[in-house]
Amino acid sequence: MKTISLVYISLSGNTESFVTRLKDYLLSQYEGIEVQKIHIKDLVKEGQDFYEMDHPYVAFLPTYLEGGNGVDNGDVEILTTPVGDFIAYGNNASKCFGVVGSGNRNFNNQYCLTAKQYSQRFGFPVLADFEMRGMLGDIKHVAAIIADLYELEEAGTKV
């Protein structure tokens, strides 16, 4: 049994929706897996200490920036910083396959900027991005990336 861990934060529910649908999709398409959702907001709310991940994970990060235009200002992260703290904890950064950014294209240059900043800060790739709750195509795209990273077997492919 392979454990796929999805580490994320969601303030207004879009990322929660995406991660939940992604989990269902992965379970329907691949065998021998379990999917673990780790919502950093819950850890913080419950006053739990951060811990070191003992297996690889993928991070999901919506963008919340303080005003600005993303060019010469507007690159200050708000609300999502506990995700960065979790990734910076112990060896967690080295266990992260990469980050999937989300946001809203109306923010132009600031679209998914925080995911790009995390990629630079921690040295892992931006694996994909999607807008708001994401479409089925986004779910399939991210699931395929996860299947490659974890080397998953499609359900029903064994003879």
Residues in contact with ligand FMN by CB under 6 A are 10-16, 62-65, 102-104, 107, 110-113, 132
Taking the C-alpha atoms of residue 68 and residue 144, their distance in angstroms, rounded to an integer, is 34
- 113: its two tokens: 């900027």
Q: Nearer Cβ to ligand FMN, position 26 or 112?
A: 112
Minimum CB separation of residue 14 from ligand FMN in Å reads: 3
Nearest distance, CB of residue 18 and ligand FMN, angstroms = 8
Q: What is the DSSP letter of 67?
A: S
CB of 127 to ligand FMN, least distance (A): 16
Which is closer to ligand FMN, CB of 33 or CB of 83?
Answer: 83
Per residue, the 3-state secondary structure of 80-141, as one string, reads CHHHHHHHHCCCHHHHEEEEEEEECHHHHHHCCHHHHHHHHHHCCCEEEEEECCCCHHHHHH
| CB of 56 or CB of 68, closer to ligand FMN | 68
